[in-house]
Structure 1
């Protein structure tokens, strides 16, 4: 039996104070009884280590010696503090390194990797893919032999991720999604929610949603002439979103507007946006 047949990829939802409707962040154990790695480390709380070590024992996995962090956000990276006795090597993209070092202090060493950096675990190739958009240094892990892609916050099990200041860039995000579409994948592991078993459909759904939103924004600007991001967000959602996520919805609207300004389709004057021409 080849080594990759023994490879296990285990989704471990860790309770975190993340955005509604989600209540947990997924960490992923990848490996077998001889060697394993971890993708993302959850929130800095004892439940993180308890949940991971329970899963390691249940699935007969080796303690991870490598932790790859998709990005620095507080529900994905700071749990590293709980795992220092594993003495892991911590990896992230270079553009995320400084924020991660701040987020996991006093842990002092994080190694930067770049796009298409190849790792091996339990004899199986794992490739890091740089997917900016949600944050500048966001990473995904692709396991070609298993046709599995672990996407961090690029794709959610339910709904769509937010993109916006201070880290998000809508044009980068759309480019990243189009790149992921080209991969041979059967299964997608999101940062929040269940495994996605129709990955290409889900990526297309998210792309369509972003492009539909962009079109809606242009239509609203044509109708209202000049609006702020807050007003525009209110027009888009009409009180149909949970109040706790209004601010990230507003930031995502703003990210769309910034993309349209950069493309010379929209003009900005102070806090007001209008369609050009």
Structure 2
């Protein structure tokens, strides 16, 4: 979402809303018609298996998208619903799909913040959190859920949200990665909903795994995935270095840092960029490299420690 020339982004994604695309044997995807600067062309839901199937990320509160998913599995039985995280572009449609199919809903858990809110912070309705979502079964990191001809291992990947969970089809060396890794853009990490400390740890965790193909919540699939994750790690490290470089010139607030670091950014993403900088600053304050008066919050002023 800015000076991301160091990351080999792929914004070539021709899938049209409502069209069923069998992207690999046993893996179908359906795009929801909810494009935005944050969702790219829209949320991608996945159907795993044939006959008895799982749906991953039913998407936003959209009757049209629910109908498209149910049409795609007409004559089949939906046995499982997996939800990678509780943002409103991923989980609200779960209720519709469950009501229509009776499938069991699996996820890490209900929405929660990555850390407690500071006294000066308000719980924002704009954070995009789906606070109404509750899975039937809470899944632990490393747990495997098997269906008819498939088995998905839960991979806890907190950072974008505290409850973000990817699902790996280890036998086929692929992973449904949610919004933790996207091929078209970097992921937004906005405290207290998200945590840069957790996000970086999850990226490093992925580099140690064997899956080399990711299916993301937005945009095209990601080939050579561990290499791409290393690009993301280097990008975040460069962003951190840019923040420290700016603070070396003197104390600054977050809007000042955003203007210095995100050259030519889409104005609609300025707020998100500010929260991304805050996520880095939280990490830097925690490591004793940056100082601020009081808690590290969006309206604070920051200096080198």
TM-score normalized with structure 1 length: 0.88
Aligned residue among 101, 106, 111 for 1:86: 101
Report the equivalent of 1:3: none
8 Å contact from structure 2 (residues 144, 152) kept in 1: yes
Unaligned runs of 5+ in 1: 1-5
Alignment of 1:1-16 (within 5 A): 8-16=26-34
Aligned residue among 143, 158, 183 for 2:209: 183
Aligned residue among 211, 219, 225 for 1:193: 219
Aligned residue among 128, 131, 153 for 1:102: 131
Q: In 2 relative to 1, CA 20–77 (structure 1 residues): closer, same or farther, beyond 3 Å? A: closer
Cα deviation, residue 208, structure 1: 1.1
2: distance between equivalents of 1:54 and 1:205? 38
Cα deviation, residue 101, structure 1: 7.4
RMSD (Å), alpha carbons: 2.2
* Residue 303 of structure 2 is aligned to residue 274 of structure 1: yes
Report the equivalent of 2:239: 213
The number of equivalent residue pairs is 262
Alignment of 1:100-249 (within 5 A): 102-104=131-133, 110-223=136-249, 225-238=250-263, 240-249=264-273
* Residue 79 of structure 2 is aligned to residue 65 of structure 1: yes
Greater share of residues in helix:
1
Cα deviation, residue 7, structure 1: 6.0
1: distance between equivalents of 2:252 and 2:293? 10
Aligned residue among 76, 82, 88 for 1:74: 88
Q: Secondary structure at the match of 2:158?
A: coil
8 Å contact from structure 2 (residues 33, 43) kept in 1: yes
2: distance between equivalents of 1:188 and 1:246? 28
Aligned residue among 286, 291, 300 for 1:262: 286
1: distance between equivalents of 2:94 and 2:35? 17
Cα deviation, residue 123, structure 1: 3.3
Moved more, 80-89 or 95-104: 95-104
Q: Which has the higher contact order (CA 8 A, sep 6+)?
A: 2
C-alpha distance after superposition, 1:55-102 (max 9, x if no partner) = 335xx7x33221111111000000113211111211111364899873
Report the equivalent of 1:253: 277
Q: Secondary structure at the match of 1:255?
A: helix
Cα deviation, residue 148, structure 1: 0.6
8 Å contact from structure 1 (residues 7, 32) kept in 2: no
8 Å contact from structure 2 (residues 80, 106) kept in 1: yes
TM-score normalized with structure 2 length: 0.80
1: distance between equivalents of 2:288 and 2:94? 42
1: distance between equivalents of 2:279 and 2:268? 19
